[in-house]
Amino acid sequence: MKPSILVLLCLAACTPVHPRVSLEPGTSLKAYRVFLVAPVTDDTRAPFDLDVVDSLQQEIADRLRSHQLTVVAKVPEDSSAATLVITSRLVNFKGMSNTLQLPFSGITRCELRSVLYDGQSGRRVGEIVASDLEEGSRPMTVLNECAHDVADAIHERLRH
């Protein structure tokens, strides 16, 4: 491997990657008070030794709750509660998928794409792409960071 590529990989492994948030024109998340985290799908075909999709769904929901946000299992029938539906797909994973809980000395990478929908109208509101790249971490920790980034990005957009 060329030294320049190795240096770039090391820098990338040490650099935080912020989620990319794109909202539909004229859209704001400030009106949403209730959040529904739909089941996560796995598009990676990696041989995970744990139920990663359930874990990611739970991590997103728990992180939203940690920001004092209301998470529900279904869209409320009361139309006055603006509900944001979050559908996510794990689209990329590189690392030791068959030993997620064990420390891994190599580089682990994940990418989680979340599409946001208005719960009442079904209209697409936006998308969040969270990716994480870490060296020497448990692979499950890296996956959880992707889920946290999605929830944190939503919380940040609610505040500003």
At 114, is the secondary structure helix, strand, or coil?
A: strand
pLDDT at 75: 83
Tokens (6 digits) for 70: 């209301």
> Tokens representing 77?
């029938």
| Burial zone of 15 (CB within 10 Å; 0-12 exposed, 13-18 middle, 19+ buried) | exposed
pLDDT for the residue 77: 80
> Quick one: pLDDT at residue 79?
67
Per-residue pLDDT, 8: 46
Q: Residue 16's pLDDT is what?
A: 54
**CATH-assigned architecture of domain 3-159:** 2-Layer Sandwich (3.30)
Dist. CA 51–CA 61, nearest whole Å: 16
The answer to whether the beta carbons of residues 10 and 126 sit under 8 Å apart is no
Encode the chain (160 residues) as per-residue pLDDT tens digits.
555 444 444 444 445 568 999 999 999 999 999 999 999 999 998 888 788 999 999 999 999 999 999 999 988 887 678 999 999 999 998 876 666 666 667 788 899 999 999 999 999 999 999 999 888 788 888 899 999 999 999 999 998 7
Domain boundaries in the chain?
3-159
- Spatial separation of the C-alpha atoms in residues 97 and 50, rounded to whole Å: 9
The pLDDT score that the predictor gives to residue 96 is 63
Provide the token pair at 123. Answer: 């209209």
